[in-house]
């Protein structure tokens, strides 16, 4: 398992999981590995589908004392019994989400590779700021977040910083010196040996 001085792991769900299978997979990962948080990040905008997934995965996460946050739909967070929101548009909705949610709710935001957007989000109430991708992936607008951005942030800004998007175990290990969280999604679900084997590889490098 990662030691106390390294970055914590944060999982992002697949965009269109088969809930019955995925809930079992997620339960197995949370039982085997130390995970700080799970993000429900679905491709669908159907509130019914989001609610169904939230109901299923909330039980899996909360039974193991792992918070579950929802991508973007912050107005659904309270009624679904979730722990917060991850906003994908930088600082634009941080104030609105903070106002709508209870005081102890998690409000995180993705700032692409923009130091300015990240700082603005932090100043108006974000609990963490995410930068990425690290290498080409489906995340973001094509701009890569360099290691120097995380290094600068960790030295200058107190708000926790997350790395996500196109991470290899070696990149995660390098970033763990500066990032507070390493977010993994497609790196696990698309791995030919399965999510558990993939996550074991990341944990081994982070703990090295």
Q: Domains in the chain, ordered, with CATH?
A: 8-206 (3.20.20.70)
Paired with 87 in beta bridges are 109
Of 81, 39, 75, give the one whose Cα is nearest residue 188. 39
What is the token pair recorded at 11? Answer: 């999982």
Cis peptide before 98 (omega within 30 of 0): no
pLDDT tens figures, 35-50: 999 999 999 999 999 9
Q: Looking at residue 141, what is its pLDDT?
A: 78
Global pTM value: 0.95
Residue 1 has pLDDT above 80, yes or no: no
What is the token pair recorded at 15? Answer: 């965009």
Q: How confident is the model at residue 5 (pLDDT cuts 50, 70, 90)?
A: low
């Amino acid at each position: 398992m990662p030691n106390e001085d390294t970055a914590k792991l944060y999982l992002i769900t697949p965009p269109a999981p088969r809930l019955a299978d995925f809930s079992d997979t997620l339960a197995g990962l949370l039982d085997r590995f130390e995970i700080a948080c799970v993000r429900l990040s679905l491709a669908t905008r159907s509130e019914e589908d989001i609610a169904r997934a939230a109901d299923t995965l909330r039980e899996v996460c909360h039974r193991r004392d792992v918070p579950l946050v929802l991508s973007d739909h912050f107005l659904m967070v309270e009624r679904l019994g979730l722990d917060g929101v991850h906003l994908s548009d930088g600082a634009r909705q941080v104030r609105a989400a903070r106002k709508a949610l209870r005081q102890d709710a998690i409000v995180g935001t993705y700032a692409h590779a923009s130091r300015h957007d990240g700082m603005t989000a932090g100043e108006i109430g974000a609990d963490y700021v995410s930068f990425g991708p690290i290498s080409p992936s489906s995340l973001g607008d094509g701009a890569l977040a360099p290691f120097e951005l995380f290094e600068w942030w960790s030295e200058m800004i107190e708000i926790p910083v997350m790395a996500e998007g196109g991470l290899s175990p070696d990149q995660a290990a390098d970033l763990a010196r500066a990032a507070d969280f390493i977010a993994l999604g497609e790196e696990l679900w698309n791995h030919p040996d399965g999510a558990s084997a993939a996550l074991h590889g990341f944990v081994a490098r982070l703990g090295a």
